[in-house]
Amino acid sequence: MKEIVVISGKGGTGKTSVTASLAMLGLDNMIVADCDVDAADMHLLMQPKQSETSDFFSGVLAVIDQDKCIQCGKCAEICRWQAIPVIDSKYEVQALDCEGCGYCALVCPVQAIKMESQNVGDWIISDVKSSTKMVHAKLHIGAENSGKLVAKVKNEAKALAKSKGLDYVLVDGSPGIGCPVVSSLSGADLVVLVTEPSVSGIHDLKRVYQLVKKFSIPANCIINKADINENKSKELKQFLAKEKIELLAEIPYDDNFTKAMTMGQTIVEYDPDGIGSIIKMCWNKIK
Amino acid sequence: MKVAIASGKGGTGKTTISTNLVKMLAEKQKVILADLDVEEPNSGLFLDGELYHSEDKYRMVPDWDKTNCILCGNCQKVCNFNAVMKLVDQIMVFPELCHGCYACSELCPTNSLPMVPRKMGVLNHYKMANLDFIDSKLIIGEEQAVPLISQTIEYVDDFFGANTLKIFDSPPGTSCPVIEATKDADLILLVTEPTPFGLHDLTLAVDTMIEMKKPFGVIINRFGIGDNNVEKYCEENNIPVIAKIPNDRKIAELYSAGKLLYSTIPGVRMELEKIAEFITDQQEVK
């Protein structure tokens, strides 16, 4: 089984549009995992039909039993996040500030603080139109542990692929270089970088590629909006050559991506002979 | 006054709006821009200024001192993040997993886990006439953006008075880095694009702002591409649409070269003026 992760560093480069297209081409030999759990959009193109939703519990949050509390203030004193201010002469935990470390519960002399596990989101297995299954998630507002939810989505996708004897797991990663990205990358066999020839695109690609290198995962690259800036395009290709990253394809700037999206379609459905054919060529190279 | 420029979806134009807005505002007044997207900070690519100050940023993590350690294993027991592990003959610390709660260190009976600084990033402060620009960059491999974001805000708070207008270019998404970057703001401007992805992620960002009880407005970027569902959504939910930046290949080209737009594309300047006006109105309400 081959696990392919699509990432970009910078947002808005077309990562999800490309991933959904690859998913349409992989058909019934893959499971798709949307690991961009913060801003999960792939379902808008994959149109899930039947879904099975499960709660995801992760991390803990301090809860004070006001009947037991003796107002000693030790919890507030040791909290590094100032998450336990006094409100109406009561010590109250601010959920959005609590890091879930549990230190306060340990120092409370009367055991008035309990650490309660948090429902931080949902994870979902859906039947999608490419005749495969997709694992995706919805992180609750301001929730922590998005890295753990990413790991959950990915592991469920892998287990599903294994149980069905499928050859591919295709992962839509998240932007940035922090914990959700690290979680998306761990255990991957191949990274597909989707970028654009702009100062930001190149800057962010270089940073995220340093992270990819730490994991020693082979990578290749799709340049989207390739004709937007000739000089930057050249600079980008020099970087790819220097790092021995295979350039899979250059996709021109094209409003058809957006038109396809507004119709709930991937570009391989909307424009099969144009950009769709470029992405088909990419899939043939990476599969 | 603090204004955070945020968005659910990445790549909607937060940095474009932030950099162009502050440069335009700086023609007439003093303004601060802080790039809080510490994982992938881009604002600096569009601004040039003189480096005024640079400092390494650290967070505190435990470091095992074996001298008096009795290997009781309490440290491992109290850590909720699996960052401390007791082996047969030693204590192992995984600093990248540590959240810095100090529990292992302060609850150690033999003071064998003193907290030591660990470098997580670099903060740079640039000056250009009326504009101060602060930019922090997370070291690659460091997974937690939140401590660097909060220290960057602290730097800005300590350095500039409460009356100065501060613009925060925030990270994308709706999870902990965004909360950290927006929780002190007086006003949030959510940048979106008129597409199904833009709308979906905007609704998540709006829910986050409502949960945080923050005043906010929406800026539609690439206006004209896609459909009109973002406008419909804003109208139905009484969310002010402050400005609409037109969809224009020329803008994408200038952006790709690291160039600012407000002085070359008249339509953009007009929309930025609307944003400036909205901020001033909110300031007066405040």
Average pLDDT over residues B50-54: 97
Q: Are residues A35 and A65 in the same domain?
A: no
A234 touches chain B (CB under 8 A): no
A281 touches chain B (CB under 8 A): no
DSSP character at residue A215: T
**Which positions ≥6 away from A126 have C-beta within 8 Å?**
A43, A46, A48, A49, A50, A51, A52, A133, A134, A135, A136
B175 pLDDT higher than 90: no
How high is the pLDDT of residue B147? 94
Q: What is the pLDDT along chain A (287 residues), one digit of tens a residue?
A: 999 999 999 999 999 999 999 999 998 899 999 999 988 999 999 999 889 999 999 889 999 999 999 999 999 999 999 999 999 999 999 988 899 999 999 999 999 999 999 898 999 999 998 888 999 999 888 777 688 899 999 999 999 999 999 999 999 998 899 888 999 999 999 999 999 999 999 999 999 999 999 999 999 999 999 999 999 999 999 999 999 999 999 999 999 999 999 999 999 999 999 999 999 999 999 99
Chain A residue with CA closest to B44: the answer is A200
Q: Which of A100, A119, A138 is the last residue of a domain?
A: A119
Chain A residues near residue B102 by CB distance under 8 angstroms: 78, 80, 103
Q: Are residues A99 and B99, on separate chains, in Cβ contact within 8 Å?
A: yes
Q: Give the domain extent around A138.
A: 2-47+128-286
Tell whether A214 is covered by a domain: yes
Place of tokens 């099975």: A52
Name B243's bridge partners: B219
A263 touches chain B (CB under 8 A): no
How high is the pLDDT of residue B283? 86
How high is the pLDDT of residue A145? 66
Q: Are residues A8 and A136 in the same domain?
A: yes
How high is the pLDDT of residue B285? 79
Tell whether A169 is covered by a domain: yes
How high is the pLDDT of residue A142? 73
Tell whether A207 is covered by a domain: yes
B93, B115 Cβ separation under 8 angstroms: no
How high is the pLDDT of residue A43? 95
Q: Are residues A258 and B183, on separate chains, in Cβ contact within 8 Å?
A: no
Q: How far is CA B142 from CA A97, A177, A185, B255, in A?
A: 21, 8, 14, 29
DSSP element (H, E) containing A286: helix A275-286
**pLDDT tens digits, residue range B230-283?**
999 999 999 999 999 999 999 999 999 999 999 899 899 999 999 999 999 998
A78 touches chain B (CB under 8 A): yes
Q: Rg of chain B over CA atoms, in angstroms?
A: 22
A272 touches chain B (CB under 8 A): no
Give the count of domains, chain A. 2
CA distance B137 to chain A (A): 10
- Return phi, psi of residue A241, to 5°: -65, -45
How high is the pLDDT of residue B121? 98
The structural domains of chain B, ordered by start, are 2-58+129-285 (3.40.50.300), 64-113 (3.30.70.20)
A255 touches chain B (CB under 8 A): yes
**CATH number (domain holding residue A91):** 3.30.70.20
**Which positions ≥6 away from B88 have C-beta within 8 Å?**
none
How high is the pLDDT of residue A19? 97
Q: Which of A73, A92, A119 is the last residue of a domain?
A: A119
**CATH number (domain holding residue A156):** 3.40.50.300
Chain A residues near residue B227 by CB distance under 8 angstroms: 262
Q: Are residues A81 and A64 in the same domain?
A: yes
ipTM at complex level: 0.92
Q: Which of A27, A39, A81 is nearest to B206 (CA)?
A: A39
CB nearest B195 (choices: A13, A78, A258): A258
pTM: 0.93
Q: Are residues A89 and A215 in the same domain?
A: no
CA distance A98 to A100: 6
Mean pLDDT of chain B: 95
CA distance B130 to chain A (A): 25
CA distance A225 to A8: 13
Q: Are residues A105 and A142 in the same domain?
A: no
Bigger pLDDT: B3 or A142?
B3
Q: Are residues A41 and B12, on separate chains, in Cβ contact within 8 Å?
A: no
